């Protein structure tokens, strides 16, 4: 290979350049809308293609697959799914406050069900799209650019007459940036635009007298009205939204909580997530007010019914929903758009300025073109009127000419050479004719019926209308006030025809406060069987079934129903569980796996010790590890608010083999895997913090480790069975901590 063809470049520089090029391509050509028309490229191309195909609002629907295929083949070669997804979203009235496409068929629903395949659905333009987005495309008001293979032309921006970027909002993720603009009410946006046009120095606060805030298609309530001004000044912030709730009294005295509007952020699978979250509140005993939940939503609107118990406080329950579910949510605002060819985060005033400047630009181009056409028409009309006054002479010229060129030369330049006239006077008059070339062509193409009296009157009337149009267009182009009034009149027309009442309420709502019902404190008994199923029963039930309870369960202890249970594992973790989260019921109830109500994972760790936090607080706790590290820890250190904390520090490869509350134990016995037993007083174990490793309790062989730990109380004979041999622990030779111990022969 020729070395001259190899381009040597720094790798980092090439990567940087390539990534920046890619990022800008995504930002400009895919993900972000243009502030002028509020459309992303895929949306703009889809609408333009429908316009080109003639799929108008007053014509039959066409298959979505036809639209998608044509758009992909001509303008957007990035795959059919992105085009169809864009078409679907532009037709969904629950996502767009003003749908741009009229969909026919299954275009999905608010609960998250997707649209049918494009071969089954049909679509056409909405009337507002045709009038306000595409209406002036034939008047050369925007630039057309080559498509991806330079076989077609496409508009660089649509001549949109309304501030669409605000009306429908936009969401998109680019590289290193994202846009998230909420939808607004068309009538309010138009009023704000008019106010800006009348006073360019108007403040954002004054603009918000007209544009109150976002208006979501799903309704709901914006609860942070006082924060909106800063959001609309900066273009960024967080809007807090709540669903709308009604209370329905039943004949039985119960109250139903009915959700009739949801937050905009809950569109889609958020509704099913909300229903499961409400069910979880009941299952985890966060509330015991719920009797039943049903989703009765239909095409008429959202209706989620939660039936409450007779003694429930509905308002307090709704506050719980606001705090624990997405019935209250935040919408992150980042009004980022392409302005002047570059991405820019814009406040309300900047967006309106960009829109109004664009309106003046397209109005200037529109009326400049219309004026040129009217002036051409005026020239032709004046030529025809003049020709009607000398029609006999023109007929004589036409009859005496050998060809069209000779007749045209006579009409334009007065050349009479070669033309046969009936009289000398006619020749003299013909030599004085001075029609323009365009007038001459119109005269030569004029039909005889145009000489009828009524036709001549119509021509004169048409000329007067043309002159009026010229005067009007010149006035619009020369006086900014006149052009502003034209733009305002158009906006008024769109407001009158397409404006609607606001759906979203805007207010300053107090933060939701949920008051938990005071639980009557009582002593209960915790039970957990060897399979890890846990439950809580009252003390009286336990006393009646004490023998069965003790024999069938691995852990049995008393605790307060307002307290916590502490679960220590071999990995050195402490998991705490609220007693109120543990199922409370009958003695024969199965209970719930301990994994389901705590962070404990039975597949990764094993339970070493279970007890109540109230018992721990009063005592010291002994820790023993496989590598014979030991310590005492004050039980109060485990009174923690977190659900999981480290209960002790472990060396590499070590694990906890025993945790025990110190009550009246006097001696401890360590037993190793190889059969060594060491007995020594508990007083020899020092007290440490829970974050400490501890001290060595026993000297171990190279492959030996502590396997079991036993405790001896004063005056209590304690024996165990070790490899089928009974060992009396009280008779073991007393030793000292960190000794080797005695090997039991079997």
**Rounded-to-5 percentages of helix, strand, coil across the chain:** 40, 25, 35
**Cα separation, 410 vs 397, whole angstroms:** 8
In this predicted structure, what is the pLDDT of residue 1? Answer: 47
Mean pLDDT score of the chain: 90
Give percent above pLDDT 90 in the chain: 60
CA 720 to chain centre: 64
**Cα separation, 8 vs 10, whole angstroms:** 7
| Three-class secondary structure of residue 15 per DSSP | helix
Give buried/exposed letters for 344-376 (b at 16+ CB in 10 A, else e): bbbbbbbbbbbbbebbeebbebbbbbbbeebee
**Cα separation, 292 vs 284, whole angstroms:** 15
Yes or no: say if 80 and 168 are a contact pair by the CB < 8 Å rule: no
Active site residues: 120
Yes or no: say if 373 and 501 are a contact pair by the CB < 8 Å rule: no
The burial class, CB within 10 Å (0-12 / 13-18 / 19+), for 143 is exposed
Residue indicated by tokens 């767009």? 96
Residue indicated by tokens 């994202």? 178
Residue 291, CB-side half-sphere exposure with 13 Å CA sphere? 12
| Three-class secondary structure of residue 96 per DSSP | coil
**Cα separation, 189 vs 208, whole angstroms:** 10
| Three-class secondary structure of residue 263 per DSSP | coil
693-723 pLDDT, tens digit per residue, is 999 999 998 889 999 999 998 878 888 888 8
**Residues in the chain, overall count:** 746
Q: DSSP assignment of 459-523, as one string? A: HHHHHHHHHHHHHHHHHHHH-HHHHHHHHHHHHHHHHHHH-----SEE-BPPPP---PPPPPP-E
4-33 pLDDT, tens digit per residue, is 677 777 777 777 776 666 656 555 556 789
490-524 pLDDT, tens digit per residue, is 999 999 999 999 999 999 888 777 777 666 788 99
Rounded average pLDDT over 718-738: 88
Does the structure show a pLDDT above 60 at 2? no
In this predicted structure, what is the pLDDT of residue 177? Answer: 76
**Cα separation, 204 vs 195, whole angstroms:** 11
pTM for the whole structure: 0.73
Instruction: Show Cβ contacts of residue 351 under 8 Å, excluding neighbours closer than 6 positions.
Output: 35, 163, 165, 166, 335, 337
């Amino acid at each position: 290979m020729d070395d001259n063809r190899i381009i040597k470049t720094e790798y980092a520089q090439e990567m940087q350049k390539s990534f920046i090029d890619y990022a800008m391509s995504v930002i400009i050509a895919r993900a972000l809308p243009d502030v002028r028309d509020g459309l992303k490229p895929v949306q703009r191309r889809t609408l333009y293609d429908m316009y080109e195909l003639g799929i108008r609002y007053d014509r039959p629907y066409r298959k979505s697959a036809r639209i998608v295929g044509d758009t992909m083949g001509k303008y957007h070669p990035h795959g059919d799914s992105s085009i169809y997804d864009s078409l679907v979203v532009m037709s969904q009235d629950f996502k767009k406050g003003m749908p741009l496409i009229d969909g026919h068929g299954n275009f999905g629903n608010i609960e998250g069900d997707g649209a049918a395949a494009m071969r089954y659905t049909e679509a056409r333009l909405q009337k507002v799209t045709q009038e306000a987005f595409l209406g002036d495309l034939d008047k050369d008001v925007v630039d057309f650019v080559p498509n991806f293979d330079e076989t077609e032309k496409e508009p660089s921006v649509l001549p949109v007459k309304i501030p669409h970027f605000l009306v429908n909002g936009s969401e998109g993720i680019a590289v290193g940036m994202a846009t998230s603009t909420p939808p607004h009410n068309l009538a309010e946006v138009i009023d704000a635009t008019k106010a800006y046009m009348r006073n360019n120095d108007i403040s954002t606060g004054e603009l918000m007298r007209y544009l109150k805030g976002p208006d979501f298609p799903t309704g709901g309530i914006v609860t942070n009205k006082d924060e909106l001004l800063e959001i609309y000044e900066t273009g960024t912030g967080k809007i807090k939204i709540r669903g709308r709730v009604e209370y329905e009294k039943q004949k039985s005295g119960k109250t139903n909580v009915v959700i009739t509007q949801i937050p905009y952020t809950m569109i889609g699978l958020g509704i099913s997530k909300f229903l499961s979250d409400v069910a979880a509140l009941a299952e985890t005993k966060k509330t015991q007010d719920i009797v039943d939940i049903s989703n009765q939503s239909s095409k008429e609107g959202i209706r989620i019914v939660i039936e409450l118990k007779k003694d429930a406080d509905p308002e307090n329950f709704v506050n719980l929903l606001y705090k624990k579910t997405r019935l209250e949510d935040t919408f992150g605002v980042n009004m980022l758009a392409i302005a002047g060819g570059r991405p820019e985060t814009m406040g309300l005033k900047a967006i309106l300025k960009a829109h109004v400047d664009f309106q003046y630009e397209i109005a200037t181009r529109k009326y400049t073109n219309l004026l040129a056409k009217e002036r051409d028409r005026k020239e032709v009309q004046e030529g025809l009127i003049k020709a009607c006054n000398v029609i006999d002479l023109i007929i004589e010229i036409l009859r005496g000419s050998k060809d069209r060129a000779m007749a045209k030369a006579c009409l334009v330049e007065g050349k009479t050479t070669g033309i046969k006239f009936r009289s000398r006077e006619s020749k003299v008059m013909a030599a004085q004719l001075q029609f323009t070339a365009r007038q001459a062509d119109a005269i030569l193409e004029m039909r005889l019926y145009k000489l009828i009296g009524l036709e001549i009157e119509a021509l004169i009337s048409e000329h007067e209308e043309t002159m009026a149009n010229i005067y009007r267009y010149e006035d619009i182009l020369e006086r900014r006030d006149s052009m502003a009034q034209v733009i305002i009149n158009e906006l008024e027309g769109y407001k009158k025809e397409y404006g609607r009442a606001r759906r979203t309420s805007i207010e300053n709502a107090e933060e939701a406060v949920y008051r938990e019902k005071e639980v009557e404190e009582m002593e209960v008994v915790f039970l957990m069987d060897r399979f890890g199923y846990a439950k809580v029963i009252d003390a009286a039930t336990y006393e009646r079934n004490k023998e069965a309870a003790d024999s069938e369960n691995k852990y049995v202890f008393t605790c307060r129903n307002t307290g916590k249970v502490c679960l220590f594992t071999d990995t050195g973790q402490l998991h705490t569980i609220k007693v109120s989260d543990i199922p409370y019921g009958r003695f024969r109830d199965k209970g719930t796996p301990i994994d389901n109500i705590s962070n404990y994972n039975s597949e990764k760790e094993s339970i070493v010790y279970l007890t109540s936090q109230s018992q721990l607080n009063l005592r010291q706790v002994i820790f023993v590890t496989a590598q014979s590290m030991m310590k005492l820890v004050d039980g109060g250190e485990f009174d923690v608010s977190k659900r999981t904390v480290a209960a002790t520090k472990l060396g590499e490869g070590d694990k906890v083999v025993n945790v025990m509350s110190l009550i009246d134990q006097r001696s401890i016995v360590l037993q190793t895997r190889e059969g060594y037993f060491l007995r020594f007083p508990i007083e020899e174990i020092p007290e440490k913090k829970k974050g400490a490793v501890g001290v060595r309790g026993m000297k171990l062989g190279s492959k030996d480790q502590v396997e079991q730990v036993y405790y001896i109380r004063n005056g209590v004979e304690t024996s165990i069975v070790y490899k089928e041999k009974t060992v009396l622990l009280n008779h073991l030779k007393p030793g000292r901590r960190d000794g080797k111990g005695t090997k039991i022969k079997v």
